[in-house]
Structure 1
């Protein structure tokens, strides 16, 4: 089996951040968060990276990554766009927002031919997560056995606003029973002034435990996921044609597969410290965290 592929979700509009955070600098020499992910992926054993982007950003991404990654890892690009015909939807739907993370992954179906990992461009995951995922994809993954990295919800929050997380139910065997995308998770103080984590859905707030296992879009798949997604996507579009905010999220696919006995998903625990950038206020915290990792010798001052 060849080396696994890393698929990077980098087509987001970054509306809450205010600029193209995919290429924003956070390291001491202007390194992006993606740079650290790719650095970790290379030493963990990945052999290819596929950036899923909007076509208008292709040259910006190539200028940022092609030359410095040359000879280190194979690089390719896939475009997330509004052409739904290639996914079995024979109609035009006007909208300004892409169709979500699962739609983005589907856009890479012609670029991936073996086990692969999906990550967000704006999340820092750490070497341990990439090493464990590379080992899983190289030695265990098949069409009925896939995986995800499970992070503790309390370690993935932002102090500056709401976040979206795939909240997992994990059984005693360490496998996922279900995963539900919660798109409005935030901190709130209770009557005694204690900070708690809640999510809001249809105007109703519900509390979540800080140790709940959540997906940070760090998934281990085989190309079987494309077949399942393509079968589900037309029905999703038809049901949400008049909802400009509806998104086809990645957790929808594994949740469907588990509930219909199509595959199991092992929840892989990781000791890696996650941090990410959703709001511009997160930037100095991410910069400080990376500076500490460099000072501690975890990463070189200049990656590439």
Structure 2
């Protein structure tokens, strides 16, 4: 197995709640979107390859911008389109499908581009500098075809003041291996409490409950499982809006004892943009990081 490490960035979403392509929306005057900060942090942690999953709405001008950056900074860069037809049976009719197939399918689309251990992230989440250093160490020490990793964050640090958020609530065993990951789409703050609603009932969760923010550390063997599970998903005749998610596939691997996922609390602060009004918070945060010499004013100058 090569010592090369890859960063896989999921940037194929449609940004409906953000009302725009937040994946490439520059935060500060330097024009860098969040994903460029993630690339910068990963390069510092000895990652040398970046694969970005995109949709056809990504403008050519941004692709050219990042291609130029990759040549200047000398890292390997691959663009992969999440096409609706990818990995579907030849006779499957997807004409009634408008949305992408979900994050599990997005990762699967990168199968031919990645042959080494990799970290998977969302394009619109800022995960923090230190978490990439830790991921690099995990790849060197623990990641294999039967053991993956995940960086989790306390739920209180991942909320938005502008509406509900979807988070994967994690249940761990005594050795910090993932037992269950349960997606909840209505997590929000009510006064001093953190709540979500399930089957019409409001449920309180502790502020230090660990949640998944889609920061996974995978061995490339994950692609074989994803392909099999996606095939099962298609055979189940899903509804037009139903999606195939990475956490669901990971849960299946755990249940079938095909892999263990070691969960560690991230040492870094998480920031993200679910809604357009979230942008001001991360703008202020990044400005303070630059002031504290954590990032240069212009990442690539």
Does the pair score TM above 0.5? yes
**C-alpha displacement of 1:89:** 6.8
Q: Is residue 2:299 matched to residue 1:303?
A: yes
Question: CA–CA distance in 1 between the matches of 2:85 and 2:161?
Answer: 37
Question: CA–CA distance in 2 between the matches of 1:152 and 1:60?
Answer: 37
Pick one of 99, 102, 109 that aligns with 2:104.
102
**C-alpha displacement of 1:218:** 0.4
Q: Name the counterpart of 1:191.
A: none
Q: Name the counterpart of 1:200.
A: 197
Pick one of 167, 172, 175 that aligns with 2:174.
172
**C-alpha displacement of 1:60:** 3.9
User: After superposition, what is the alpha-carbon deviation per residue over 1:212-268, rounded to whole angstroms, capped at 9, x for unaligned?
Assistant: 111111000111111111111122233353x22211111111111111111111112
Deviates more, 1:41-50 or 1:224-233: 224-233
- Runs of at least 5 residues in structure 2 that lack an aligned partner in the other structure: none
Q: Is residue 2:255 matched to residue 1:259?
A: yes
When normalised by structure 2's length, the TM-score is 0.94
- Say if 1:115 and 1:138, in contact at 8 Å, map to a contact too: no
- Say if 2:171 and 2:179, in contact at 8 Å, map to a contact too: yes
**C-alpha displacement of 1:87:** 4.1
Secondary structure, counterpart of 2:261 in structure 1: strand
Q: What is the count of residue pairs matched by the alignment?
A: 297
**C-alpha displacement of 1:135:** 1.5
User: After superposition, what is the alpha-carbon deviation per residue over 1:142-179, rounded to whole angstroms, capped at 9, x for unaligned?
Assistant: 10111000111110010101111111111111111111
Secondary structure, counterpart of 1:119 in structure 2: strand
- Runs of at least 5 residues in structure 1 that lack an aligned partner in the other structure: 189-193
User: After superposition, what is the alpha-carbon deviation per residue over 1:107-157, rounded to whole angstroms, capped at 9, x for unaligned?
Assistant: 100100011110000000111111111111233211011100011111001
User: After superposition, what is the alpha-carbon deviation per residue over 1:32-65, rounded to whole angstroms, capped at 9, x for unaligned?
Assistant: 1011100000010111000000134262431231
Secondary structure, counterpart of 2:113 in structure 1: coil
Q: CA RMSD in A?
A: 1.6
Q: Name the counterpart of 2:159.
A: 157
Map 1:82-161 onto structure 2 (within 5 A). 82-84=84-86, 86-88=87-89, 90-93=91-94, 94-161=96-163
**C-alpha displacement of 1:202:** 3.9
Secondary structure, counterpart of 2:137 in structure 1: helix
Q: Name the counterpart of 2:188.
A: 186
Pick one of 206, 209, 212 that aligns with 2:209.
212
Q: Name the counterpart of 2:24.
A: 23
**C-alpha displacement of 1:74:** 0.6
- Say if 2:210 and 2:265, in contact at 8 Å, map to a contact too: no
- Say if 1:181 and 1:249, in contact at 8 Å, map to a contact too: no
**C-alpha displacement of 1:71:** 4.1
Q: Name the counterpart of 1:39.
A: 40
User: After superposition, what is the alpha-carbon deviation per residue over 1:71-121, rounded to whole angstroms, capped at 9, x for unaligned?
Assistant: 42110011112105x244741131211111111101100100011110000
When normalised by structure 1's length, the TM-score is 0.93
- Say if 1:119 and 1:218, in contact at 8 Å, map to a contact too: yes
Pick one of 208, 232, 237 that aligns with 2:234.
237
Question: CA–CA distance in 2 between the matches of 1:4 and 1:170?
Answer: 27
